[in-house]
Structure formats: structure tokens, C-alpha cells
Structure 1
């Protein structure tokens, strides 16, 4: 079989996670090949309405820190966008901030002052986009950076050894130092590499359908819980519904208009009649996660590492967080700059976040079950979410406003996203992260650490500048993914600063 010269990294899957990861690796000058089984990226389920996704704060900050935020959110966030292509909630006077099992909380209820170390920015609250728009922007950026992307390629087998991975794609063998599976919930890479994938089995089959109804007036617009399930209806024919059948129908047989009508009548308790079926897809609440995101030289990100129901739209955001966390760490490992345990910190930091999202999804399913006890519990949660403290709590969880990694440092900012300081020259911190390097920032004109970053040139940038609001801080070390790795409240000392830099960026250049 022919052998293609090796790459630093092969990524399987050209969805948002795989594309963003490829961009992160190319920013660090790794050679990257992306393989995608689908021959083209187009799908009606990536367009509005089914393709609309809410991006949480960490996702928006990731895009902002790479100069991609405006391009990704412009099409739906713009007031001039056609109303038919915008989420229904964006057309209401009182703007919802999100929901938990269909129970909405609103922007005007949220107390953002409860979230320390957050400064106003374009990434301060959840925003919508479509999967199509996000993938298009990321694919263009990947092409601009020199990522090689091959579509219509199916991986059939992989083998790894001490120094690399062999990927079988059709009649071609491809070699790389590392392989990352970003190939979705049914990941071929995960299955072939033998990752443990543990969790809970589904309780329902969910349906997303676009239909033509003979008598749409029998359905009430909005979300409705019934004695047999749940359905949402957006006229004239956009329907999502849940049937608690243990996930029996998902992927079992083709979806027909007759079947959709049967389920719709059972769940809604009406005589709704489906004249024709334009689009249909099913999904479940199966919730599983790999016990580790790495096995030798094979890593997983996105749905390949964790699956759960799409309730609340957390899956895309979880995958974007995986890509941002993994990209710079894998690049440093490729270049030999990484501390010995840097790549292991990917699982250590992201696995708990994934586990939390899976439980968040399970909790929503528990409030959707068609029983009197569930409706009583949901009523109590509804009352709580309607309070200011409740709305703030749920917004924090849905938006990821105070997400924090445990980096073994007691300072409350370490492990959190860096504040987007407005610096004296008119720039913001986010702009200075667009190169994909880390940042040593001194909000101190005395600048006792000036010159220190020279030992990590190419991996770490340095800025000394005052800021409009310095939050009582003097110096910060920010990782390439925007996470604060070290803070000095008082005068910065070179010794602890150097130790923190070496922990995350390896030894200085000689």
C-alpha cells in the first residue's frame, strides 16, 4: 500500500471541534491533516431552525481570542437578519437567557455582579449561530492557515506504536505522530482504539421534524408537557417531540410521515394530521463518557469523548472547550516544549467538565418524565428559576460564566478565564491572544518581570500596560487557551513567576 509522508497530527472529523482544533495546531506551526467521511459539509440540519446553537461564554471567548467571533455570530445576531432565520426568542421583547428542561430564565433577572473577575465584552452572554455558519467560518480559517482537509474519506483501521500512529483510509495508509478523533458520538476512532465508554442508557427517543400539517390549528405553539411526553411546535410545521420509549426507535427504522403522525398524536393528545414529511431526525438522552480522553498517541475530543441529549445545547460548547484546551498542549508536545505532564492535564481538566454536563443533561431528563411526581418537582424548580438568585445560578451553569479548572492554586482567579482587560493603547487582552501564544501581562508600569518572557520567545508574549479596570491585580500569566495560570496581587516576584511559566510552558530556551 502507498505511504504518505507523516504529519504531526491527523484529525478525523471536520465538524466544528475538528476544524477548531486544526486551526489551533496550525497556529503553533504543526502539520495537520483533517479527514472527513462526508463528501460535502452541507446539511439542512446545520441550517436554521434545527441548526441553531447557543454559544456559551467560554465558546464565545475562544472565538473572540482567535478573531473569529464577529464572523460566527453576525448572521443571526444582527438586527437586520431575516426574522425567519433567527431564533424565535430573539424576536420577543423580553429576551430569554436560556432554559433548563424548558423552563426559561431571562436576561433581566441575572445578577452578573455575582460573577467575580468578569469584565464587559462582546462575549459576556450567550449568543446564537448556526452549525453551518460556524463550520463555514472555521473551514475558511483552517484553509487560510494551511490545514489539509480531505472529504469523502472513511477511516477503517488504526494502529499505534511508541512514536506514531498509522491510519488506514481506503487503500491509503497515513502516518502521523498523533491522532485525534473528533468524529462524533459514533466515533470510529474511539471504538477502534478501544476506549472505555461508560454511562447511562436512554429513556426516550427525541424527534426533530419539519412537516406539512393538514390541521395545524390543533397544536398550540410553544413547549408542552403531556401525560405521554413532550412536544414543541413552531408554526407552520417545525416540531420537536420526546417519546419515553427507552430510545427504541432511534436509528432502528426509517422515519416515515405515518410514524411521525402516530408519535405526534400520542404525545400531543390531538388528532394532528401529517400531510408530508420534509425533514426528520431522531436523537436520545443516552449519556456516556470515555474514562480517559487519551490512549497512547490517540486522543478524543467533542462527541467522540462524550455524548448526551441535546437539551440545552451544551454539546457543541463542550467540544469547543475540548479543542481549545487540547490544541496548545498537543502542539507543545509535538514540538518537544511541553512539560512531562502537560498532555495528561487535558483529561484532568476536561473530563470533570464533561461529567458535569452529562449530569446536567440527566437532571433535565428527570424533570421531563411524564409522571405526576415529575410535574410536581418541575413546578418547584420553575419557582426557583424565576427568582433572581435562581436565574443567576442557572445562567452561570448554562453560560459557563464561572467555569474553573483546578490548577492547585488558591487564588480565586487561577483556573478561570482571563478578564478581557481594556488596555491603555485601546486594545483588549483578547486581541493579544490571537497568535495562539501565552501571555505574561503586567498591569504595573514598574514592570519587574520585563524581559522574563524572552526565555520563552515564540511561546509566550509580554505586555506591560495599565487597564481601565485592573480588578486589584498586578500581574497575570495567561495560557494560550485564555485560562489564568498565575496571579500576583502585589508586586510580582520573578521566582514564582518563572516557576509558573515553566509549569505550563516548559524550560526556557538556552
Structure 2
């Protein structure tokens, strides 16, 4: 049987990014994917700011910016609205990065209510600290998969396509009937996990199921997938219309549901409340899509054909009760599903991957501090639960009845017209407000410009030049030492193979920062504190031992 350190099941964005993270840190990883080639079906149309920053920290932002430029060029007249999303989409074609002109990208919607750029205060420090990735968010899911596939190829990741995964078993388990077997995967056993596939058995020390919402592995391991049943059926496609003139551009509510036409010519998303199809696995026919569009829009459209494949989805919202079963972990849609509005699932999966990658690598190599891998679930499970509620709230506001329409009017015309409210909703949707409990002592936000547990965002390094993200491309921790004499260097020197040290002495008193590979701040000095204080050094040492280890 073939053997590797980690097998990742699923070559979607979550699986590919996770594989890249593992490979960066010297882990042998194989990706198994049932599809013969990346799926071109239209899915999420963009990523959020937190996801763009994930790409930035791995040196992939220029490629994302190039995708955005191509997108603007392809949508014709819609490109005239590019400043609503990013300030200078061509700013990186030549010369150095001109960050001063960047603005926080105001793109997206809540329950079909578009965010209003003019109501967003760009001076808000929460938003102003996350502008570097502004020109790399309009990356459709298919383009992202291609981008990440190239990234994995450069790192030597083996991606094996056309392979169906039937299930997993431990050293003493018998796999006799596909996914209906109760597998026994022992986290403490010396034996590897066996993955049964259409190409034969493969073995690995660890397996990550990133195989989608209907994960065969999650089902086989009988991990409870709890949540709420669907109330709507949605369709998305790029279609050839005989005459689309009766359709409104953008988001439109109707008594039967909601639809969005554009901005890509022919792109239609339609969702209607009501019963689910009898066979949700059956391909979407042209007739089914046409009827759904007519039912929701009230326009008697005629479709002449499809460009690519139409997708069918629902607002089924569920989450795995556990993200780990022995040496098998869940990530992405295998761990949580919900309605696809705003592409939250794509972003949630990338967040899983960047959180899990370095923790699993440390575990594989044997230098992980005690309990490190457990923090994957304890940190990511609450984030996913929040996203599920966020999407449920949007679906509730999309109903076509009169009372919901009145509530939507209050939210859209009263609450969302308040600048502070719009700032908060934009920040929440962008993913930059994620926060983890990573320290024994929680730093109050008033004490530091970079509170411990938050995402670092756009950290400039005036003295040394560049940005913090420039030092994170290899997946290491980063310590930014802003003391005048570099007094924190000694604390990380024994672990320089896992910690990038950046001296950036400052005349003022911005905080020194210690940042995890996923961009989360795990230690910071307070601007008014004495950096020579033994307590500060002890806190840094505690953060190193808790998150990096001592080997």
C-alpha cells in the first residue's frame, strides 16, 4: 500500500490550501479528488478580506489581484463600478505596492441588501488595518482552485484525480461495505489510517476529510451533523436568455423568493421557498432552471442553453459535533454547511485550512505542544456556529411575505443607513473580526493597537521595509521586535527554524507582535509598557511554549 504523512480527501479550495500549508512545513501530503479536473461550475464569486489576507501571507495575493483584473476586463460596463470594491486594481502591475491609496473593499450584501460604500467610514481603525488585500477579493471559486492548484504543484504536492474515496479504517477495523462500516481510528495507535479508494488502499498517519457537505468519511465515522432543515431551494448558472430585459439587475425580492441577475452577462441566481426536489442529486435541467426563474421572478423568460453546469443548493445548515475522530479530521464543508449567500462557506473553509495546517504539521513532526491539535476544533467550531446563524438570519429576511418585507425595510432603510451599523456589518462579513482566546491574560483592546487573539491584518514595517505578510510566506511564526535594542531576539533564537524574527525598531511606541502562521496575534506589548519588564519577556516565553513548543 502507498504511504504518506497526510492524505487530504477533496481538492476544493479547503483541501488544496491545507495541502499547501502542510507541504510548506515539510509534511508529505497527497490529495485525493474524485473529479478528473477542477469543476468550472459557477459557485462563490469572490472571497472576503480575511481570505485575501490568507493568500497575502503566503505570497499569493499578486495572483489573486491578476484574477481580479481579468474579471473587471470581462464584465464590460460593470468594470466602471470597480472603485466600489477596490481603489486601484492596477496598482501592482508595475513598481512597488502603493498602499496609501488603498481603501477597505466594500463589497457584498446581507439578505440581498447591498452594502453602501458611501456609508462606510474608511477612517474606522478596525477597517483601516485591513486594506492591503483590497485588490484581491473578486476571485471566483474556480479561479481560486486553479490558483491553489498551481501553488500546490510548485510545492510538490501530489494531487491524484479521478479517485473515489470509500472510507477509512484503523489497524483493527474491517472495511467491508463502503461507508456503512463503523470504523475504528485510534489516535494513539502506531498503525496508520487506511484509506479505501477506487484505486486501492492507501495509508497515512493522518487523514483530513475535505470532501464536501455529503462527506463519505464523516458519515462512515458516524459523526453527528446537527442543525436545521432547508426551507428554500436555490439555483445558480450562467445561461443564454432569449430576452432577459424583464429581469432586474442586482438583488430583487419577490413574493416567491429572491433572485440576482448579473453582473456577469447571463449569470442568474434564484432561490424560492418551498419543498425540496425529490432527487436532489439529479442534474439540473434547462427546463427545471427555467421554471424556477419564472416562478420567482414572475418574468416569462426563455432559456436557450447553459454555459457550463447549473447548480442546485439549499439553506440546509448543519455542523459536525466533532471535528476530529482519532487520526481523522474534518475541514470545510465536511465540517459545516449552510446557504451559499455571500460565499461564506468558501471563506470558512479557508479559515479552517490555515488554522489546521501548521498545527497538524507540528503534530506530524512531533514537536507540537500538548493539546495544540485540540485547539483546531475549540477555535474553529464557534466561528462556524456563528456563520451558520449569520446565514440563517439572512434567509429569514429573504421571505416574500408582507411582514418580512416590513422587517427588511426597517433593517435596510433605517439600520443599514446608519454609518456605524454599516461599518459593523461590513467588518463582520469580511471576516476580520474573528477572535480567539489564545492567552492566559487577555489584552484589553484599549491597551494595544493589535489585541491578542485578533487577526494581524496589514502591519507595516517602516524601519525594515515591507510588511509583516512578506515574512510569512514560508508558513513560520513571525516576531516583529520594535524595541530599540532588539531585546526580544534572544527569546526566539533557539527556534529560528520555526520563527521568523524581524527587527523593526521604532521611535514611537507601537507594539511588538508575535504572530502565528495563520495570522493570529498571540503576544503583543502595550504601547505604554516598558519592554524590558521581566513580565513582558515571561509572557512572550509563555506564548512560545504554548504555541510553538521548545524543540
Q: TM-score, normalised by structure 2?
A: 0.85
Distance 1:389 1:205 in 2: 34
Deviates more, 1:498-507 or 1:410-419: 410-419
Aligned counterpart in structure 1 of residue 497 of structure 2, from 442, 458, 476 = 458
Aligned counterpart in structure 2 of residue 415 of structure 1, from 447, 450, 453 = 453
Q: Which residue of structure 1 aligns with residue 214 of structure 2?
A: 186
How far off is 1:42 after superposition? Answer: 4.3
How far off is 1:506 after superposition? Answer: 1.4
How far off is 1:271 after superposition? Answer: 2.5
Question: Is residue 339–residue 502 contact of structure 1 (8 Å, CA) maintained in 2?
Answer: yes
Counterpart mapping for 1:340-351 below 5 A: 340-351=370-381
2:157 equivalent to 1:147: yes
Q: Which residue of structure 2 aligns with residue 255 of structure 1?
A: 284
Q: Which residue of structure 1 aligns with residue 547 of structure 2?
A: 504
Question: Is residue 75–residue 81 contact of structure 1 (8 Å, CA) maintained in 2?
Answer: no
Query: Aligned to 1:9, what secondary structure does the other structure show?
Result: strand
Counterpart mapping for 1:19-38 below 5 A: 19-38=16-35
Query: Aligned to 1:55, what secondary structure does the other structure show?
Result: coil
2:215 equivalent to 1:218: no
Q: Which residue of structure 2 aligns with residue 56 of structure 1?
A: 48
Cα gap change, 1:126 to 1:150, in 2 (>3 Å): closer
Aligned counterpart in structure 2 of residue 127 of structure 1, from 137, 157, 160 = 137
Distance 1:250 1:385 in 2: 39
How far off is 1:93 after superposition? Answer: 6.5
Distance 1:92 1:439 in 2: 34
Q: TM-score, normalised by structure 1?
A: 0.91
2:459 equivalent to 1:428: no
Structure 1 segments unaligned to the other structure (5+ residues): none
List per-residue Cα deviations over 1:311-369 (Å, max 9, x = no partner). 11111111111000000000011111111110000011111110111111100000011
Aligned counterpart in structure 1 of residue 538 of structure 2, from 491, 495, 505 = 495
Cα gap change, 1:418 to 1:212, in 2 (>3 Å): closer
Distance 2:59 2:372 in 1: 26
Distance 1:172 1:475 in 2: 51
Aligned counterpart in structure 1 of residue 332 of structure 2, from 280, 302, 313 = 302
Cα gap change, 1:429 to 1:250, in 2 (>3 Å): farther
Aligned counterpart in structure 1 of residue 59 of structure 2, from 59, 67, 70 = 67
Cα gap change, 1:190 to 1:104, in 2 (>3 Å): same
Aligned counterpart in structure 2 of residue 40 of structure 1, from 37, 40, 53 = 37
Cα gap change, 1:211 to 1:500, in 2 (>3 Å): closer
Distance 1:365 1:452 in 2: 50
Question: Is residue 54–residue 354 contact of structure 2 (8 Å, CA) maintained in 1?
Answer: yes
Query: Aligned to 2:20, what secondary structure does the other structure show?
Result: helix
2:108 equivalent to 1:98: yes
How far off is 1:379 after superposition? Answer: 0.5
Task: Determine which structure has the larger strand proportion and give its number.
Answer: 1
How far off is 1:482 after superposition? Answer: 1.3
Cα gap change, 1:380 to 1:249, in 2 (>3 Å): farther
List per-residue Cα deviations over 1:440-471 (Å, max 9, x = no partner). 22111222222221222311122221359x7x
How far off is 1:76 after superposition? Answer: 2.0
Counterpart mapping for 1:235-274 below 5 A: 237-248=266-277, 251=280, 253-274=282-303
Query: Aligned to 1:185, what secondary structure does the other structure show?
Result: coil
Q: Which residue of structure 1 aligns with residue 395 of structure 2?
A: 365
How far off is 1:119 after superposition? Answer: 3.1
List per-residue Cα deviations over 1:14-44 (Å, max 9, x = no partner). 111111111111111011111111111142x
Query: Aligned to 1:358, what secondary structure does the other structure show?
Result: helix
Q: Which residue of structure 1 aligns with residue 224 of structure 2?
A: 196
Question: Is residue 444–residue 465 contact of structure 1 (8 Å, CA) maintained in 2?
Answer: yes
Q: Which residue of structure 1 aligns with residue 182 of structure 2?
A: none
Query: Aligned to 1:407, what secondary structure does the other structure show?
Result: coil
Cα gap change, 1:69 to 1:433, in 2 (>3 Å): same
Cα gap change, 1:466 to 1:172, in 2 (>3 Å): same
Cα gap change, 1:56 to 1:263, in 2 (>3 Å): closer
Question: Is residue 25–residue 358 contact of structure 2 (8 Å, CA) maintained in 1?
Answer: yes
Q: Which residue of structure 2 aligns with residue 447 of structure 1?
A: 486
The alignment yields a C-alpha RMSD, in angstroms, of 2.3
* Runs of 4 or more above 4 Å deviation: 92-96
Cα gap change, 1:300 to 1:394, in 2 (>3 Å): same
Question: Is residue 105–residue 386 contact of structure 1 (8 Å, CA) maintained in 2?
Answer: no
Distance 1:56 1:296 in 2: 32
2:124 equivalent to 1:111: no
Cα gap change, 1:326 to 1:222, in 2 (>3 Å): same
